[in-house]
Amino acid sequence: MSFVENYKEHFEQLLSVKDKKELSGIRENAFNAFAEFGIPTSKHEEWKYTRIGALFNRPYRFLLDPSHAVTVADIDAFRLPGHQEANELIFVNGIFSSALSKIISKGLAVVPLEEAAADSRYKQLVAAHFGNSGHYLKDGINALNTALVNGAVFVQLTKGMAVGLPVYIYNINDARKENIFSQPRSLIHVTENAQLQIVETYFTLGVEESFTNQVMEIVVEENALLEYYKIQNDAGNANQVSTTHIRQAGRSYVHTVTVSLNGGIVRNNLNMILEAERCESHLYGLYFQKGKSHIDNHTVVDNVKPNCFSNELYKGVMNDESTGVFNGKIFVRQQAQKTNAFQSNKNILLSDDASVNTKPQLEIFADDVKCSHGCTVGQLDEEALFYLQSRGIGQKMARSLLIQAFASDILEHVKLAAIRKHVEHLVAERLEF
Amino acid sequence: MSKDNYDHVETSMNEELSAIEKTVLSDYKYGFVSNIEADEAPKGLSEDTIRFISAKKHEPEWMLEWRLKAYRQWLRMEKDEPRWANLKYTAINYQDIIYYSAPKQKSKPKSLDEVDPELRLTFEKLGISLSEQKRLTGVAVDAVIDSVSIATSFKEQLSELGIIFCSMSEAIREHPELVKKYLSTVVPPTDNYFAALNSAVFSDGSFCFVPKGVRCPMELSTYFRINAENTGQFERTLIIAEAGSYVSYLEGCTAPMRDENQLHAAVVELIAMDNAEIKYSTVQNWYPGDKNGNGGIYNFVTKRGICQGLRSKISWTQVETGSAITWKYPSVILKGDHSVGEFYSVAVTNNHQQADTGTKMQHIGKNTKSRIVSKGISAGYSNNSYRGLVHVGRKAENARNFSQCDSLLLGDKCGAHTFPYIEVKNKSAVVEHEATTSKIGEDQIFYCNQRGIDTETAVALIVNGFAKEVMNQLPMEFAVEAQKLLAISLEGSVG
Amino acid sequence: MLNIQNLQAGIEGRQILRGINLEIKAGEVHAIMGPNGSGKSTLASVLAGKQNYEVTSGSVEFLGKNLLALSPEARAAEGLFLAFQYPVEVPGLSTTNFIKTAVNEIRKYHGREPLDAVSFLKMMKQKMALVNIDQSLLSRPLNEGFSGGEKKRNEIFQMAMLEPKLAILDETDSGLDIDAIRIVSNGVNKLRTKDNAVLVVTHYQRLLDYIVPDFVHVLYNGRIVKSGTKELALELEERGYDFIRNEADVEQEA
């Protein structure tokens, strides 16, 4: 049985079991797209350096049923600092669990996506934004998530509300008994003039393999502000394709930091669609890999309208046999005059077997723009190392200090103090070679 | 280039400005058709076509076999016709092309004076004199029209030094051992779709062999011209620089104006041994099509050099102003330790032209260095893409690369794209890539206007400034020509 | 030489100049002073023919020609020179090459042969000494990476090379220390003859200590509200622009 047939069974089961008329059209289109595109191979330009075909050749438990064996105590072991003062949304094996989640902020609505799609208050929003990432990610993997959407959630922050407390999102795979394939899905709506901070993380229980294929779509309305932090430090056999697709309305401000410290094959898609004038976006990323982990950060900044600003800085440190990929694309459409878009990617290779592939790209159709990109690959600065050593600092320590300095450029952009300290601590731990 | 030379170029740049102005208003000036009788193969491609070409050229049996093998390979590659480039064009009908067209001459001329006067006139119009007496600049010329080499000048003088500079057909007949040894060692027929096609049907091109320790005393140059209708040009060039030798080679290309697209699919191979240096410069000015995007040359070219030896160096310089479609990535395989690869490029697109061009630097040996300077200028409705790969292999200790890719946009209907690929598998590598995009600012134009310089001249000045780093790499004979070309190509794009 | 009648102009539909009248004769130095936003730089830009500025009314005659009908390069060729407040940077274009092009284009406009390399070099050497500019500056790309003082000196050097009839100095003193102002002013003074004229546009009086004007005009709200001799500049320096503002506003109300 080919993998398409395999998933067709799930798909049909899903269609027959539940009555989700509102989504079934989108779902069906997505399944056809999945059947047509298939799982991306390295011949697909966007997947040139990241091969996920093999991940589909092994057996997984793929659950449509929301029941699971994860307890509060299981999660406690992984909670992020500051969780006492945070809303917590929990997905288990890709399905939202309202029982385990905690919503304490006023003005924050969390509704199952199927219900939101039928609810007159949210209906139009869901229709307008659900599946928009598929216009940018033309591959089977994105389509697969949409085709099999199940246990997804719709989150809305009321107009003008500044949520004082951040929203922590945990994606948990229970691989204690068998390999798990999960597909978390969410649609987040930050209404006009509202402010939201999101921290997202991933962990796998048990020692079996997991594969998470996640899609999160976020809409940031006029004058709204979003901070989004992604922290990836899962097991070496936890693989994932994680898509964050953000649409920005006018004068909105989005600030993202992606910190990837461990995992199996990890692919992040971060799309910033600047759909109206005077949007501002900041994209920061740190990937610090060990073992045989493979990290691929794919970003798109699409400037559709004039007068937008974006700044992107991704830094990578590759150790052991790890591989890093950076693929950043800046589009400036014909209408998007006076765009300022900057992109930079810097990499350090620490070991003989580590490697890095980087593709910073500009596609520009407007003439009155300021755009630049740059990338570097190199080692730690020998002169700086020598300078530190000449002041009596041992080589090991000197190296560790320099890497910390390299990483701090990114970490300082984590504005939630508790989370910043947490990731700084994780990086420092890693530096005790 | 020495300081003196530099100053000279600077002065000649100034003096050329009025010439730029004169030519600004002229259209594609190389678009004439010469009335030369041609000896052609029937349209279309089959094993028979290849046998026809091989027979016409009196090739030995091994060459025919080699071609047929490449042809069969090409047939198997049907699905591999490249689609990844940022180019849009109607599919090429390979059966609608004439693969061999030779100007009719009674027999190969023994001296240049015997060349058909009509042919000589053609080259005079291009500004190339085939007569050795008139050629004062010290450039040896090989002239290729449609598919066939017409004449090679300065042959005697070069052969005294042991340098072989002749047409590829002649090399196959006269120096089969060298051709057998080196042909397709850098670009095998299996390399890509167009390389396979070229290997099957190539009709001529230049061959150059510089023996050990010899510094070639003059620039070697080939002028390519497509003349006949419905013809494709498939030249094949092979340059070998033995240990410690040096050669600088230039090529120029023009074609008449025709409403239909014509195909040009060349293969160029360079081989540099220990301490050898090859400098390869191109001024490509194939007919770009008219203002509405009709006609023009489809230029699909595979150019690659290998730095085989220790401390060898290969340097590509290109000024690309012509062709409707350009698909071209002159590359260097840095195999020898301490070898150096360079790529300097100016690509101009105007009206509906499309260019997807760049380079590949494959670092394999230790302490290898590469440098990439790419300047893209887009105007009109054109699209200009830089696509480049820097690959540092696992054993390439201390590899260094620096890339600079700048784009200049004139108008808001055109596009500039940058697609660098950087693959590093060795921790001692240092790779840097920088790119910027800008436009010619209204304030810059006004500043020039205020000093009495009109807008067209101002654009020419700014564009030449933008492209200077690359232009300085060109041999002087070409630098002036190339500057004029830039101005002509951008005619009417501003203001 | 220059005769401006009721000049009204603006940018993007916003009116800035509301009726300027000014006459400059050969051999004279005029200064236009005024507070920020009064229209000083707009006047300079309109005279030089900068794009986007729209003349809605009035006329400007320059050496008997209708200046407003000429392209910017023709104005330059006719002998109008604007020393920019912010000289533009052109990476990759050497200053020498730029100036040589300008000199020869202007010669061409007047039907003269271009200067050969030797004469051009001779002329450059002579003018360099006149305005005290260093050779190394001229081989660098046009204004790129120049300090504020270097840029302004380069402007004056260009003025020396192009030998204009009327030079407009737009805030040439802005961002310069006293030494630099002295050098630049010396350059301007050396270039003065009985056949040419200078229009100094400035916010402060200090430049006028070095380039002494025959007439001073105060621009306020798009109009010349007061004219006088160099003493007016001193008065302005002492009393500030407020007294002009008050006077002008009172007048307007009346």
Distance of alpha carbon B376 from alpha carbon B441, whole angstroms = 16
Across A310-334, average pLDDT: 95
State whether the Cα torsion A72-A74-A75-A81 is positive or negative. Answer: positive
Residues A186 and A50 reside in one and the same domain: yes
What token pair was written down for A297? 């950060």
- Asked if C98 reaches chain B (Cβ–Cβ under 8 Å), the answer is yes
C7-42, pLDDT tens digit by residue? Answer: 999 988 899 999 999 999 999 999 999 888 889 989
Distance of alpha carbon C226 from alpha carbon C220, whole angstroms = 9
CB–CB of B437 and A372 under 8 A? yes
Q: What pLDDT is stored for residue B194 in this prediction?
A: 92
In a domain, A314, yes or no: no
Structural domain tally of chain B? 2
Q: Are B195 and B189 in contact (CB under 8 A)?
A: yes
Nearest C-alpha in C relative to B449: C73
Nearest C-alpha in B relative to C73: B452
Across C89-101, average pLDDT: 82
In a domain, A140, yes or no: yes
In a domain, A171, yes or no: yes
- Asked if A327 reaches chain B (Cβ–Cβ under 8 Å), the answer is no
In a domain, A221, yes or no: yes
Partners of chain A (3+ Cβ pairs below 8 A): B
Residues B176 and B242 reside in one and the same domain: yes
Nearest 5°: CA angle at B215, between B212 and B216?
110
What token pair was written down for A46? 């966007």
In a domain, A333, yes or no: no
Prediction ipTM score: 0.83
In a domain, B317, yes or no: yes
* Partner residue facing A334 (CB), from B412, B416, B432: B412
Among A220, A242, A276, where does a domain finish? A276
- B91 DSSP 8-state letter: P
Q: What pLDDT is stored for residue A3 in this prediction?
A: 66
In a domain, A336, yes or no: no
Partners of chain C (3+ Cβ pairs below 8 A): B
How many CA atoms does the CB half-sphere of B323 hold within 13 Å? 29
Three-class HEC string of chain A? CCHHHHHHHHHHHHHHHCCCHHHHHHHHHHHHHHHHHCCCCCCCHHHCCCCCHHHHHCCCECCCCCCCCCCHHHHHCCCCCCHHHCEEEEEECCEEEEEEEECCCCCEEEEEHHHHHHCCCCHHHHHHHCCHHHHCCCCHHHHHHHHCCCCCEEEEECCCCECCCCEEEEEEEECCCCCEEECCEEEEEECCCCEEEEEEEEEEECCCCEEEEEEEEEEECCCCEEEEEEEEECCCCEEEEEEEEEEECCCCEEEEEEEEEECCEEEEEEEEEECCCCCEEEEEEEEEECCCCEEEEEEEEEECCCCCEEEEEEEEEECCCCEEEEEEEEEECCCCCCCEEEEEEEEEECCCCCEEEEEEEEEECCCCCEEEEEEEEECCCHHHHHHHHHCCCCHHHHHHHHHHHHHHHHHCCCCCHHHHHHHHHHHHHHCCC
At B192, phi and psi to the nearest 5?
-160, 170
Q: Measured between beta carbons, which residues in chain A are less than 8 angstroms from residue B374?
A: none
Distance of alpha carbon C123 from alpha carbon C218, whole angstroms = 38
Q: Are B461 and C97 in contact (CB under 8 A)?
A: yes
Q: Which residues of B touch C (CB under 8 A)?
A: 10-11, 13-15, 17-18, 441-444, 446-455, 457, 461-462, 464-469
Residues B53 and B15 reside in one and the same domain: no
Across A139-157, average pLDDT: 93
- In whole angstroms, how far apart are CA B391 and each of A349, A352, B395? 15, 16, 11
Q: Is the pLDDT of residue B20 over 60?
A: no
Domain ranges of chain C: 2-253
Give B469→chain C minimum CA distance, Å: 8
How many CA atoms does the CB half-sphere of B293 hold within 13 Å? 13
Going by C-alpha positions, the residue among A218, A225, A180 that lies closest to residue A202 is A180
Residue to mutate among C82, C85, C101, with most B CBs inside 10 A, is C101
Q: Tell me the CA end-to-end span of chain B in Å, nearest whole number.
A: 35
Give Cα B466 distance to the centre of its chain.
Answer: 21
Q: How confident is the model at residue B18 (pLDDT cuts 50, 70, 90)?
A: very low
Q: Is the pLDDT of residue B22 over 50?
A: no
Residues B14 and B121 reside in one and the same domain: no
Give Cα C212 distance to the centre of its chain.
Answer: 15
A69-96, pLDDT tens digit by residue? Answer: 899 999 999 999 999 999 999 999 999 9
What token pair was written down for A406? 């390299």
CB–CB of B435 and A368 under 8 A? no
Q: Are B281 and B317 in contact (CB under 8 A)?
A: yes
Structural domain tally of chain A? 2
The amino acid that residue B63 corresponds to is M
State whether the Cα torsion A150-A151-A157-A159 is positive or negative. Answer: positive
Angle between helices B3-24 and B455-471 (to 10 degrees): 140
Residue to mutate among C70, C88, C166, with most B CBs inside 10 A, is C88
Q: How confident is the model at residue C158 (pLDDT cuts 50, 70, 90)?
A: very high
CB–CB of B18 and C48 under 8 A? no
CB–CB of B465 and C102 under 8 A? no
Distance of alpha carbon C27 from alpha carbon A324, whole angstroms = 71
Q: What pLDDT is stored for residue A179 in this prediction?
A: 92
Q: Measured between beta carbons, which residues in chain B are less than 8 angstroms from residue A367?
A: 409-412, 414, 439
In a domain, A355, yes or no: no
Distance of alpha carbon A333 from alpha carbon A214, whole angstroms = 28
Q: Measured between beta carbons, which residues in chain B are less than 8 angstroms from residue A354?
A: 427
Give B453→chain C minimum CA distance, Å: 5
Q: Measured between beta carbons, which residues in chain A are less than 8 angstroms from residue B84?
A: 45
Q: Exposed (0-12), middle (13-18) or buried (19+): which is A329, by Cβ within 10 Å?
A: buried
Distance of alpha carbon B309 from alpha carbon B347, whole angstroms = 30
Nearest C-alpha in B relative to C109: B452
Across B381-390, average pLDDT: 93
In a domain, B18, yes or no: yes
CB–CB of B14 and C98 under 8 A? no
CB–CB of C109 and B452 under 8 A? yes
Residues B79 and B20 reside in one and the same domain: no
β-sheet bridge partners, residue C61: C3, C66
Distance of alpha carbon A85 from alpha carbon B159, whole angstroms = 86
- In whole angstroms, how far apart are CA B401 and each of A286, A361, A400, B435? 24, 18, 26, 14
Distance of alpha carbon C25 from alpha carbon C21, whole angstroms = 14
What token pair was written down for B239? 């340059």
CB–CB of C88 and B443 under 8 A? yes
Q: Is the pLDDT of residue B21 over 60?
A: no
* Partner residue facing C88 (CB), from B17, B444, B454: B444
CB–CB of C90 and B462 under 8 A? yes
Partners of chain B (3+ Cβ pairs below 8 A): A, C
Q: Exposed (0-12), middle (13-18) or buried (19+): which is C231, by Cβ within 10 Å?
A: exposed
- In whole angstroms, how far apart are CA B154 and each of B122, B129, B163, B278, C202? 20, 12, 11, 19, 67
Q: Of the given ranges (A41-55, A161-175, C234-248), which has the lowest mean pLDDT?
A: C234-248
In a domain, B69, yes or no: yes
In residues, how long is chain A?
Answer: 433
Residues B123 and B23 reside in one and the same domain: no
Indicate the pairing of strand A355-364 with strand B415-424: antiparallel
- Asked if A364 reaches chain B (Cβ–Cβ under 8 Å), the answer is yes
Going by C-alpha positions, the residue among A107, A131, A128, A102 that lies closest to residue A191 is A107
Residues B13 and B69 reside in one and the same domain: no
Q: What pLDDT is stored for residue C135 in this prediction?
A: 85
- In whole angstroms, how far apart are CA B256 and each of B115, B146, B231, C12? 21, 11, 11, 47
CB–CB of C98 and B448 under 8 A? yes
- Asked if C70 reaches chain B (Cβ–Cβ under 8 Å), the answer is no
Going by C-alpha positions, the residue among C100, C207, C205 that lies closest to residue C152 is C207
β-sheet bridge partners, residue C2: C24, C62
Residues B5 and B73 reside in one and the same domain: no
Report the percent of chain C where pLDDT is more than 90: 47
Distance of alpha carbon B437 from alpha carbon A363, whole angstroms = 10
Give B90→chain A minimum CA distance, Å: 22
In a domain, B396, yes or no: no
- Number of inter-chain CB pairs under 8 A, A vs B: 109
Residues B132 and B61 reside in one and the same domain: yes
- Give me the architecture of the C2-253 domain, per CATH: 3-Layer(aba) Sandwich (3.40)
Q: Are B364 and B337 in contact (CB under 8 A)?
A: no
Residues B112 and B24 reside in one and the same domain: no
- Asked if C210 reaches chain B (Cβ–Cβ under 8 Å), the answer is no
β-sheet bridge partners, residue A172: A92, A203
Residue to mutate among C78, C82, C93, with most B CBs inside 10 A, is C93
Q: Is the pLDDT of residue A247 over 80?
A: yes
- Asked if C250 reaches chain B (Cβ–Cβ under 8 Å), the answer is no
CB–CB of C105 and B453 under 8 A? yes
Q: Are B327 and B89 in contact (CB under 8 A)?
A: no
Across A345-352, average pLDDT: 94
CB–CB of B415 and A365 under 8 A? yes
What token pair was written down for B234? 């498939």
Report the percent of chain A where pLDDT is more than 90: 70
Q: What pLDDT is stored for residue B118 in this prediction?
A: 63
Residues B15 and B100 reside in one and the same domain: no
C46-93, pLDDT tens digit by residue? Answer: 999 887 889 999 999 999 999 999 988 899 999 999 998 888 887 777
Nearest C-alpha in B relative to A319: B427
Nearest C-alpha in B relative to A49: B423
Distance of alpha carbon B104 from alpha carbon C71, whole angstroms = 55
Q: What pLDDT is stored for residue B276 in this prediction?
A: 97
In a domain, B431, yes or no: no
B42-83, pLDDT tens digit by residue? Answer: 788 889 889 988 988 889 999 999 999 999 999 998 888 888
Q: Of the given ranges (A16-30, A229-243, B413-427, C181-195), which has the lowest mean pLDDT?
A: A16-30
Q: Exposed (0-12), middle (13-18) or buried (19+): which is C36, by Cβ within 10 Å?
A: exposed
In a domain, A259, yes or no: yes
Q: Within chain B, how many helices (H) and strands (E) appear? A: 11, 24
pTM of the model: 0.80
**Domain carrying residue A41:** 3-276
CB–CB of A364 and B431 under 8 A? no
Q: What pLDDT is stored for residue A80 in this prediction?
A: 96
State whether the Cα torsion B477-B479-B484-B490 is positive or negative. Answer: positive
Q: Measured between beta carbons, which residues in chain A are less than 8 angstroms from residue B439?
A: 367-369
**Domain carrying residue B453:** 1-30+441-495
* Partner residue facing B465 (CB), from C49, C92, C114: C92
Q: Across B44-170, where does the E strand assignment appear?
A: 101-103, 139-145, 148-152, 164-167
Residue to mutate among C86, C97, C99, C146, with most B CBs inside 10 A, is C97
In a domain, B362, yes or no: no
